[in-house]
A and B are shown apart, each in its own frame.
Chain A
Amino acid sequence: MVLDILSWIFLVAGGLLGIIGGIGIHRFPDFFTRLHAAGTTDTLCAALILIGLGLQSGLTLASFKLVLIFAFILFTSPTASHALANAALHGGLEPLLDDAEEEAGS
């Protein structure tokens, strides 16, 4: 019963994080900032959902597979992000940068 409640919390929190990340890639102004929003959903959202599922399966082979899925996502996600950012920079995409006006404003 306690596990069920914990699972609920983890799954809902993970789902919400995913949606927030989805909003993020629409809200942020350019490609490089959207990359950060997508990174959010890749790490913590996946972790929370997989932990939530792992609590339901207990110590079984299913949990082992969940850990493996998480490890794969954790290893491949930064590589893909880096490759994307690098390709975008070499492809001539100028990142939208913030200069002195923000410092004066904040």
Chain B
Amino acid sequence: MMYTAAALAILITMGLALARALLGPTVYDRILSVNMFGTKTVLLIAVFAFLSGQTDILDIALVYALINFIGVVAVLKLIEQGNFFTSGEKDEREVESE
């Protein structure tokens, strides 16, 4: 019962984060919301593990916490540079020399 209540609260938060991600207005707002959505997903998985009584599911939450972080940083890098393959510093030097 208490797990259901917590899961519902987390779902509402995720809904609010999703609404912000859809509304924008800047791309950074969207990434922020997606990051928050991801953190809440980790919590939801953790609560679900207890709700279903299979605590092995916690491993998934653990992995999701890591992937969420890497995903957010990767998307940020993509937006800042336009691709995944160059380092930011090199780009600046190229810009200066032009």
A interface list, Cβ under 8 A from B:
4, 7-8, 11-12, 14-16, 18-19, 21-23, 25-26, 31, 34-35, 38, 41-42, 45-46, 49-50, 52-53, 56-57, 60-62, 65-66, 68-69, 72-73, 76-77, 79-80, 83-84, 87-88, 90-91, 93
Q: Which of B5, B47, B61, B76 contacts A83 (CB 8 A)?
A: B76
* Interface of chain A: mostly helix, strand, loop or mixed: helix
Contact A12 B6, CB 8 Å, known A49-B46, A53-B46:
yes
* Interface of chain B: mostly helix, strand, loop or mixed: helix
Measured CA separation A25–B34 after assembly (Å): 12
Chain A residues, CB < 8 A from B72: 80, 83-84
The answer to whether B9 touches A53, judged by C-beta atoms less than 8 angstroms apart, is: no
Give 14 pairs: A residue, B residue, CB < 8 Å, sorted on A.
A8-B2, A11-B6, A12-B9, A15-B5, A18-B13, A23-B16, A25-B32, A38-B32, A53-B47, A56-B50, A68-B62, A69-B42, A76-B69, A80-B72
CB distance from B93 to the nearest CB of A (A): 16
B86 within 8 A of A: no
Measured CA separation A88–B29 after assembly (Å): 9
Q: Which residue of B lies closest to A77 (CB)?
A: B39
Contact A80 B16, CB 8 Å, known A8-B2, A11-B5:
no
Measured CA separation A87–B82 after assembly (Å): 13
CB distance from B45 to the nearest CB of A (A): 9
The answer to whether A14 touches B69, judged by C-beta atoms less than 8 angstroms apart, is: no
Measured CA separation A8–B6 after assembly (Å): 9
